[in-house]
A and B are shown apart, each in its own frame.
Chain A
């Protein structure tokens, strides 16, 4: 008998992985062709990119440094999407976390051993505080969180510019539009890579495990899938939704703290570097699974790094955006195609 095409309702992870690898390769091929058409040597550039990313120790270190914030902002967005909440404000919460951590690091005299934990706590709390108003408005008043979280990004970004160039500006060197160097930094674990990378990995895995094994995870899943059924089951949705958003804010705030205390070492304007928005891409790539945030963040880090390499080769920085967009489109198509199988009757 013939083997007809059937669309699967649930796609096995292995099929999805293969389809996505093909999508990445297809995107790479497209980028190569475009480069060749514009008179560049794609092989030469490719070798350059490989050498400066996965092909060398420094490249790998860079990747890990890019991955660290992306893991956490990705987790921040993913945690909301799971429940049908769209946190577009990870960027702002990132800034809030970085600012609070810097304030502790710069102005609060603490014994060395306490410094980093307190900074991390401050970062988490500040991220959560930055989303608190949108969270309450969404949970109890049904105000769309998309607009409110987005708008607060601009507030946070401008606030950091103001602090870094104004009251907190570094008056010692007076040269940089940034604060002084923090006195205590996150220790390194491997070259330039610091413990923040490990913490981010652990946080992502723990988040996935906790949501799968906890009553909180189950109840929030029901709220996200059908609020009426949640009410019927006696689940009070508003506090849960609020908590989910606060956790999202805390994750993005932690990303900000780790970035400032581990990678950048001082608070400066633009420190969030779009990590909050790229977190949306990471979360969408990861779909239903928390662990999938890790490869998704790695891929996004690779693209960012590639952009920098291309820039050194005098190719516009917008190339990163184009590649990201192309990749998202290719992956969306791949996900859809992966659902089709030939079955034997």
Chain B
């Protein structure tokens, strides 16, 4: 066992011993034993559905383990719920933030905290929030409302919330999935500071370069069981992939095509003519964007998150009506905001926030699987809906998406984050006969699923679909794209052919005018 290789001077902060957790039809964790130590960043790795989130939900008291025990500082513990875990010094930052959007940062920090006085004065809690921010070195704006913050800023508030309650162990579930590279670097700095102060950190992630950069040790789960725990200096990414998936996976740097990429005179699947979008406050989010989506090519949209990506994807899929300019779909002007008409015309959409906008979490896998095709046979018609056919459809879709289903009628929120994502990708791939808009399609996927997803996009391209790939990951954009556009502050900073694209140029365009992004109104 790898554990014996280390000389444990003092007992681990938290020792998991033989933890098991079952759901009906699924063994999520089985006989998992891991030591989490003070002054250590511990990465938790594994395929989608391997049981990482479940294990950490057991550790934080959200679920009760069905077998095994947890030993905290040498004593056996049981947590009746998350408050008990927090009282014991274990806090978790979930992938879906649990902040009150209409409250300010200071109010969110004060919320549900014993030390908050019965009578709260805004000045006092803001001063307190600033003091916390300084103490833990996490920059926040105490008086800003949560819904005005970027994902990275919200995450800092979540982390502060946990730390301010005296956490000695900080657990983060896929914290970097929604962060820009700059935000990732600042998160890692904060984690290292916390570790150097004697804290224990557990970080769940699918990105192996991050693991190599920030973790001290890592544990790999596979089908609910622990495969091994290693010191980072003893492993390579390839070795970890082998343990996680059981076969080597490499992400190619390019996806060669049989025929040459379509030229400028190729048929256009969709055309945007000087399209602008304003938000409810009247702020311009997309500024006179003109683009031609050519059938059979991948157009990469590079850019830092929050520079108009959701609006661009919304305009291309009918969710958002242009404020000015127009969209031509298959040569004809498209109706304003009519996602149904776009879908009927063969436009598929993998949105940024799948759980919130592309799935009905409380309904079954079957109902969600047929969301795009319930209008046609065999599932439905003008009036009918055939639940049996929907179940069979869902089972077939799950096979295509490489997801193992316990039951097609169980609510889809019971699936792991990555598996929900795989199903959305497969579902949208089916209806995208003309355009496929994929926003951050790799988010939450394990490396094997990323490889499969990229191959799926390349196959769609070869099948004559115009693929739009919105991503922050330049490697991904460069590997797949035929042309690359950079979106900054709602404006297209230029469209370049893949052959002429240079990393430093793209980088400069991405950050170039970020400073005046907010003044675009």
Q: Are A4 and B340 in contact (CB under 8 A)?
A: no
Which residues 331-371 in B have Cβ within 8 Å of A in the complex? Answer: 338-344, 349, 351, 356-363, 367, 371
User: Knowing A225-B362, A232-B319, A345-B20 touch, does A218 contact B380 (C-beta < 8 A)?
Assistant: yes
Is B22's beta carbon under 8 Å from chain A? yes
Which residue of A has the minimal Cβ distance to B387?
A212
Q: Are A4 and B64 in contact (CB under 8 A)?
A: yes
Q: List 7 A-B contacts (CB under 8 A).
A: A6-B23, A9-B414, A221-B367, A229-B360, A232-B357, A232-B371, A233-B339
Question: B237 to nearest A CB, angstroms?
Answer: 34
Complex interface residues of chain A between 208 and 233 (CB less than 8 A to chain B): 212-218, 221-222, 225-226, 228-229, 231-233
Q: Which residues of B contact A38 (CB under 8 A)?
A: none
Interface check B259, CB cutoff 8 A: no
Give bound CA distance, A213 to B319, whole Å. 28
Question: What distance in Å separates the Cβ of B394 from its nearest Cβ neighbour in chain A?
Answer: 13
What A residues does B371 contact at CB under 8 A?
A: 222, 229, 232-233
User: Interface size for chain A: under 10, 10 to 19, 20 to 34, or 35 or more residues?
Assistant: 20 to 34
Q: Which of A212, A213, A215, A345 contacts B382 (CB 8 A)?
A: A215
* A51 CB, nearest partner CB in chain B, Å: 44
Is residue B9 within 8 Å, beta carbon to beta carbon, of the partner chain?
no
Q: Contacts A222-B371, A233-B371, A345-B22 given; indicate if A10 touches B411 (C-beta within 8 A).
A: yes
A222 touches B360 (CB 8 A): yes
B385:A213 contact, CB within 8 angstroms: yes
Given contacts A214-B385, A232-B349, contact A226 B360 (CB under 8 A): yes
**B79 an interface residue at 8 Å Cβ cutoff?**
no
A window 177-234: CB within 8 A of B = 212-218, 221-222, 225-226, 228-229, 231-234
Interfacial chain A residues near B186, Cβ < 8 Å: none
| B36 interfacial by beta-carbon distance below 8 Å | no
Known contacts A229-B360, A233-B343; A214/B410 CB under 8 A: no
- Chain B residues with CB under 8 Å of A214's CB are 383-385
- The range of chain B's interface size is 35 or more
B374 proximal to A (CB < 8 A): yes
Going nearest first, the 5 A-B pairs with the smallest beta carbon separation are A234-B340, A225-B360, A4-B66, A226-B360, A218-B385
Chain A residue at smallest Cβ distance from B407: A10
**Residues 101-150 of B contacting A (Cβ, < 8 Å):** none
Quote the shortest CB–CB distance from A37 to chain B (angstroms). Answer: 36
| B381 cross-chain contacts in A, Cβ below 8 A | 215
Residue of A nearest to B381 (CB): A215
Beyond A212-B385, A343-B66: 11 further Cβ-contacts under 8 Å? A4-B65, A9-B23, A9-B24, A212-B387, A213-B386, A215-B385, A229-B359, A233-B340, A234-B344, A343-B22, A345-B66
B375 interface hit (Cβ, 8 Å): yes
Cross-chain contact B387 with A226 (CB below 8 angstroms): no
Write out, one digit per residue, whether chain A residues 302-345 have a CB within 8 A of any chain B CB (1) or not (0).
00000000000000000000000000000000000000000101
Interface flag for B67 (CB, 8 Å) = yes
Contact of A233 among B372, B382, B384 (CB under 8 A): B372
Please tell me which one of the listed residues A9, A215, A226, A236 contacts residue B410 in the complex, with CB atoms under 8 A apart.
A9
The docked-state distance in angstroms from the alpha carbon of A202 to that of B344 is 38
- Contact indicator A217/B64 (Cβ below 8 Å): no
- A-chain residues with CB within 8 Å of residue B357 when the two chains form the complex: 228-229, 232
Contact of B361 among A2, A217, A225, A345 (CB under 8 A): A225
A235 interface hit (Cβ, 8 Å): yes
A216 to chain B, nearest CB (A): 7
Main secondary structure of the interface of B (DSSP, over half): loop
Give Cα A216–Cα B384 distance, bound, in whole angstroms: 8
Q: A4-B64, A222-B363, A343-B22 are known contacts. Are A229 and B384 too (CB-CB below 8 A)? A: no
- CB of A218 within 8 A of CB of B367, answer yes
Q: Is A34 engaged at the interface, CB distance under 8 Å to the other chain?
A: no
Binding site for B on A (CB under 8 A): 1-2, 4-6, 8-10, 212-218, 221-222, 225-226, 228-229, 231-236, 343, 345
**Residues on A with beta carbons closer than 8 Å to the beta carbon of B374:** 215, 218
Taking CB atoms, residues of chain B closer than 8 Å to A8 are 24
A231 touches B339 (CB 8 A): yes
As a 0/1 sequence over residues 380 to 409 of chain B, the CB contacts with chain A under 8 angstroms (1 = contact) are: 111111110000000000000000000001
With CB as the reference atom, state the residue of chain A lying closest to B343.
A234
Q: When chains A and B are docked, how far (Å) is the Cα of A343 from the Cα of B371?
A: 34
Complex CA gap A1/B384 in Å reads 48
Interface residues of B in 491-514 (CB under 8 A from A): none
* A4 CA / B409 CA spacing, docked (Å): 25
Chain B nearest CB, measured from A78 CB (Å): 17
Q: Which residues from A are CB-within-8-Å of B362?
A: 225-226
Task: Determine if A225 and B363 form an interchain contact, defined as CB atoms under 8 angstroms apart.
Answer: yes
CB–CB B383/A215 < 8 A:
yes
Interface string of B78-100 (1 = CB under 8 A from A): 00000000000000000000000
Give the residue name and chain of the B residue nearest to A235 (CB).
Answer: B340
Please determine whether A234 and B367 come into contact, CB atoms closer than 8 angstroms. no
Residue of B nearest to A226 (CB): B360
Q: How far is the CA of A72 from the CA of B340 in the complex (A)?
A: 35
- B66 A222 Cβ-Cβ under 8 A: no
Does the CB pair B66–A213 fall under 8 Å? no
Inside 8 A of A226's CB, which chain B residues have their CB?
356, 359-362
Distance to closest chain B CB from A229 (angstroms): 5
* Complex contact A231–B359 (CB within 8 A): no
Q: Which of B22, B318, B340, B380 contacts A215 (CB 8 A)?
A: B380
What B residues does A4 contact at CB under 8 A? 64-67
Q: Are A213 and B363 in contact (CB under 8 A)?
A: no
Chain A residues whose C-beta falls within 8 Å of the C-beta of B339 in the assembled complex: 231-234
CB neighbours of A232 from chain B (8 A): 319, 339, 349, 351, 357-358, 371
B32 to chain A, nearest CB (A): 13
B contact residues around A10 at 8 Å (CB): 24, 409-411
Chain A residues contacting B65 (CB-CB under 8 Å) are: 4
Report the minimal beta-carbon distance from B348 to chain A, rounded to whole angstroms: 11
B residues within 8 A CB of A215?
A: 374-375, 380-385
Q: Which chain B residues border A5 with CB–CB below 8 Å?
A: 64
Report the separation of the CA atoms of residues A4 and B69 in the bound assembly, to the nearest whole angstrom.
13
Distance from B334 Cβ to chain A, minimum over Cβ atoms (Å): 13
Q: How close is B435's CB to chain A, nearest CB, in angstroms?
A: 15
Nearest-CB residue, chain B, relative to A211: B385
Contacts of B382 in A (CB 8 A): 215
Report Cα–Cα, A225/B371, bound state, in Å: 13
Most A Cβ at <10 Å: residue of B340, B359, B360, B383: B360
Q: How far is the CB of B370 from chain A (nearest CB, A)?
A: 8
Q: Given A215-B384, A225-B363, verify A231-B22 contact (CB < 8 Å).
A: no
Please name all residues of chain A whose beta carbon is closer than 8 Å to the beta carbon of B360 when the two chains form the complex: 221-222, 225-226, 229
- Smallest Cβ distance from B103 to chain A, in angstroms? 22
> Quick check: B67 and A345 within 8 Å, CB to CB?
yes
B33 to chain A, nearest CB (A): 16
CB-nearest residue of chain A to B362: A225
Q: How far is the CB of A220 from chain B (nearest CB, A)?
A: 11
Render B10-39 as a binary contact track against A, CB cut-off 8 A, 1 for contact.
000000000010111000000000000000
